[in-house]
Structure 1
Amino acid sequence: MSDTIAASTAASSGYTHTSNVDDAPTLIRSAADITRLVNQGATKLSDARIVVAIALGGVFLDAYDLGGLAFGMKDITRQFGLSPSGAGLVASAITLGAIVGALFGGYLTDKIGRYRVFMADMFFFVVAALACAFAPNEWVLGGSRFVMGIGVGIDLPVAMAFLAEFSKLSGRGNKASRVAMWCPTWYAAISISYLLVLLLYAVLPADKTDILWRLILGFGAVPALLIIAIRHRYMNESPVWTANQGDLEGAAAILRRSYNINVEVAADANLQPQPEVRKAAWSNYGELLKGIYLKRTILATVTSLVSPFAYNAVAFGLPVILSTFLKQSLMSTILFSLGLNLCFAFVGGLLAVRLVPKLGAWNMTLAGYALQLIAMVGLALVGRPADSAEAAISISMLALFLFGQGIGPGSHTMTFASLSYPTSLRGVGVGFNQILVRASSTASLFLFPVLSAALGTSVFWVIAFAPLAGLIVLLAIRWEPSGYDVDAEDFEPVKA
């Protein structure tokens, strides 16, 4: 049945497709043909999966830095004599930089291509990680994290574009699944940072633990250098973006190299009428608020504001919650944080990747927000635990929150941002989304130390408004990006 559909699609589009690389080549006549080939999953398992894995490198480094700094904030605050607001500024500097990076990164991703942006942004991570490790004061530390944030902001739009444009439309390993892979990658990085903290805490002399945060942040330069080397070896430009620029020969070459498809541009391709594809421009940010994209942007916007606000407050504040509210020792705090992330957030993210082709991003995000709302209300009602039973309930609520994040909004907020827009708008779409995500994260990272100091455990009532808002907008806008061929909107008129 699927072969019949594929053959019918090929015939109607005017290109010839052969599944055997040894037979006659697949003939390409338009950018739409390139998109359909990728969407049909015509890969022979060559470099495409490696490209997807490398695309997640920036996500890994972003999460690693967040997890490492979370354990170092107490020492940083003490060493530099920071007030709660000063600590909030240092913690949120990376997200401020990411806002700037996302603004330019989204535009550049669409303007000059995915590959060029991808190869340049990792140097921000290397320089900033080393500067953080040797920071003599809070100003240098905050400035270094701001520079790292620029790299993060540039990296996310191009990474999500690669994940979407090197994946097929449906089935296992589809676009929604691969975009959702950013979530378990994030939690794996958080867990690795916790493991590194645990290792260094065990081997460092007791009088040297105050340099722990420097070692953790500085070590981030090592995977960044490794990612640069691997990207140089394996990365190619997106064939879909290349074709949209009118370079069918270049797109075909990428398909041969990364997909191992025997593909050629038809001799009569230049004689075929080519649809005019939207060109990169700053004004494309405005296109996100027009026609069919308005509702999608509203949904992606609200989820992008509320999800990181709640998650960053809980994830970044997890060591504070465990050590202060739940009165755990440093070792117990590290172990509990590691266990909660691996057993609940990471597992939830893996389930999201596995189940989204069947259940859809909308359903899973709705379920995730519901679990988070229950968790925040539970934490607020328990308050500061008076005994071990109440402490166990609070830890269970934290686990429930992290599982809900992993299986729902943590994975699929990026799905809504990446797969709501076609290739011509994907860079600015994810860039705009990341501006909102980072603005929300900035507010969350700045406000959590202040609010927790002022409100204690009542801060959970404030955080509970985030998943509640997410539930409301999902029920109001029922848009399902998983399995939908959004890239076809660059070539075919779509009704609003």
Structure 2
Amino acid sequence: MVTSEAELRDLSDQAAHRIMNKQGTASGRRAGWMMISTILIEAWDLYAIAFVMLFVQKSAGFGTNPWLVGLASAAVQLGALLGCFAGGWVADRFGRKKVFITTMIMFIVLALAQGFAQNFWQLIIIRFLLGFPLGSDISSGYAYIMEAMPRGKREVMGNRWQAMFAIGEVVAILVVLGLYLTGMDHDVLWRIALALGAVPALTLLLGRLTITDTALSLVQRGKFRQAKQVSMKMFGDSLDMLPDQDFKIKRPSTMAFLRDLWKDPIRRRASIFGWISNAAQGGEWGAFGFYLPSILAVAGAAKASENFIGYSLSNAIIYSLAIVSGVVGPMITPRIGHRGIAQWGFGMAFVSLLVAAFAVWANQPWLLLISAAAMIWGHYWDASNGMTVTSMVAPTRYKGTASGFGYMFVKLAAFSTIFVFPAMKDAIGIPLTVLIMSSISLAGFLAARYILPEVYGYVESEGQLVKENAAGTAAA
């Protein structure tokens, strides 16, 4: 008979350790794919507005103020900054499924509302609110992947988020181009393009109605009876060490999460890298990837006002290469590790941004296209594992909180660079702006080389991270 909080915590930790070392079943893998597909929705929303901002600025009641353009583009990032941490916190306390269902409903409503904005301030407010469900969903989804899939597989699935992002971006480009080719009024075009994000969100909502909370999430909340059932379905393990009744387990505080994180040197260094990496990848994408359409147009690689078709296809080709990069990255991660994929990615992005700055300054459109493609390839490698590492190394009872906390760094950096880029390029020009922003990628490279310990294949054992050997047993 369980009689104390300490006994309950010990039993839940035992169950969590056993779950995190299981190979898993097809059910868990399907759930992992459903969670990672959320990235498609975020990519659609983020990149669609980058492509249609040209039309938004020409709509009645809007305008060309660079600060308002930047704020409208970045508002969703600010909302996500607040939503990602809140979403992880709520998911840890009330369960993953409630967050998943609520966020999709909110996204559908707000995505549709974008199409009815009458001026920049209305669009800014709607997109700010839209960021809440996006940030909440991503942080909860990463926790779900780390809890529902077997070791090794969960890391590869987590690193696939950039491939999904690239697919979403290419789809957004092609949809906007398709709408453009119909000849519809441009004021209607941008509204439909933004509102169409509700369609994939509705599909995901329907798919999520049948999923359950993860066994680990249920264990940590003392819902042992349901946890045993879910564990049997996802991992083929009934967790026989748990009693057949539910208990109320006190949830630890966020400060307790940070203290636990700091106790283990591997977990501490990996988490610090994850935060720096998340900020670096969010910043480099916000400073270059997000504004790539306007950079190519202004630099003469594809004049948007004269050849929207060529301008769109140039971007589609670059992001099609990004899909390949996003697929290759997770495939080679088991070979070169998290340190390797991060160093190669940030290194390629840094060098490519230097070349891109020169190409714009020297008016070399083809060199700009090549350097942009190389930068995006590197970015889709360096951005692949920040969230994976942050979520994976966190103590089992803090997965959702850790995912949300880590994702805040992505959104803070992305908001800052997307917001200031239009004003910076107007003040000092694109070449110098891109040159300054390249330092963000350099910071990510240095963090991967000098801070990140190799954590591929690590699992938690008795509160610490330990390496698993090929046979699946803990190695000291």
Check conservation: 1:325, 1:457, Cα contact below 8 A: no
Moved beyond 4 Å, runs of 4+: 268-271
The reply on whether 1:119 has 2:101 as its aligned counterpart is yes
In the alignment, which residue of structure 2 is the partner of 1:338? 316
Question: Does the C-alpha gap of structure 1 residues 284 and 98 become closer, same or farther in structure 2, counting only changes over 3 Å?
Answer: farther
Q: Distance in 2 between matches of 1:33 and 1:456?
A: 54
How far residue 247 of structure 1 moved from its aligned partner, in angstroms, is 3.4
State the 1:481 CA deviation.
2.8
Q: Is the Cα contact below 8 Å between 1:284 and 1:425 reproduced in 2?
A: no
Contact in 2 for aligned 1:277/1:491 (Cα 8 Å): no
Among 145, 153, 158, the residue aligned to 2:140: 158
Q: CA deviation at 1:265?
A: 4.8
Query: Are 2:200 and 1:223 aligned?
Result: yes
Q: What whole-Å deviation, never above 9, does each CA across 1:388-447 have from its counterpart, x for those lacking one?
A: xx321111100110111112x221111222112122122121111122211111111111
TM-score computed with the length of structure 1 as normaliser:
0.84
Distance in 2 separating the partners of 1:395 and 1:288: 46
Which residue in 2 is equivalent to 1:199?
A: 178
2:33 counterpart residue number: 53
370, 383, 387: which one aligns with 1:410? 383
Deviation at 1:270, TM superposition (A): 4.5
The residue identity in structure 2 corresponding to 1:347 is V
Q: Quick one: which amino acid aligns to residue 162 of structure 2?
A: C
* Paired residue secondary structure (1:383): helix
Structure 1 residue 211 corresponds to structure 2 residue 188: yes
Quick check: 2:220–2:249 contact (8 Å CA) kept in 1?
A: yes
CA contact (8 A) 1:385 1:394 kept: no
CA–CA distance in 2 between the matches of 1:419 and 1:326? 43
Partner of 2:343: 366
What's the CA shift for 1:269?
4.8
Measure, in 2, the Cα distance between the counterparts of 1:42 and 1:151. 29
Three-state SS of the structure 1 residue aligned to 2:209 is helix
Who is 1:99 aligned against?
81
Unaligned ranges ≥5, structure 2: 1-10, 467-473
8 Å CA contact 1:421–1:487 kept in 2: the answer is no
CA offsets per residue over residues 53-102 of structure 1, 9 Å max, x none? 22124322111001100011122223201400110111111011111112
* SS of aligned partner of 2:82: helix
Letter in 1 for 2:72: V
**Following TM superposition, by how much is the alpha carbon of 1:327 offset from its aligned partner in structure 2, in angstroms?**
4.3
Matched, 1:305 2:283: no
User: Aligned in 2, Cα 1:374/1:219: closer, same or farther, shift over 3 Å?
Assistant: same
Paired position in structure 2 for 1:291: 263
In structure 1, give the amino acid aligned to 2:196: F
Alpha-carbon offset, residue 475 of structure 1 = 2.1
Supply the AA of the counterpart residue of 1:336: S
Residue in structure 2 matching 1:476, options 431, 445, 450? 450
Residue 34 of structure 1: how far off its partner (Å): 5.3
In the alignment of these two chains, the number of paired residues is 445
Counterpart of 2:441 in structure 1 is 467
Deviation string, structure 1 residues 328-376 (Cα, Å, up to 9, x no partner): 1321111011110112x11111011211122211111001111111101
Shift of 1:41: 0.9
Rate the CA distance shift 1:487–1:203 in 2: closer, same or farther, 3 A.
Answer: farther
Alpha-carbon offset, residue 491 of structure 1: 10
Give the aligned partner of residue 65 of structure 2: 83
**Aligned partners of 2:356 and 2:434 also within 8 Å:** yes
Deviations 1:450-496 (A, max 9, x none): 1122222222211210111112222221322321003752799x9xx
1:317 Cα offset (Å): 0.6
Give the share of equivalent positions with the same residue, in percent: 24
Greater shift in the superposed pair: 131-140 or 473-482: 473-482
Paired amino acid for 1:198: L
Deviations 1:256-312 (A, max 9, x none): 3345x2x4453x7559xxxx9983423345336632243233211211211111112
| Closer/same/farther in 2, CA of residues 450 and 341 from structure 1, 3 Å limit | same
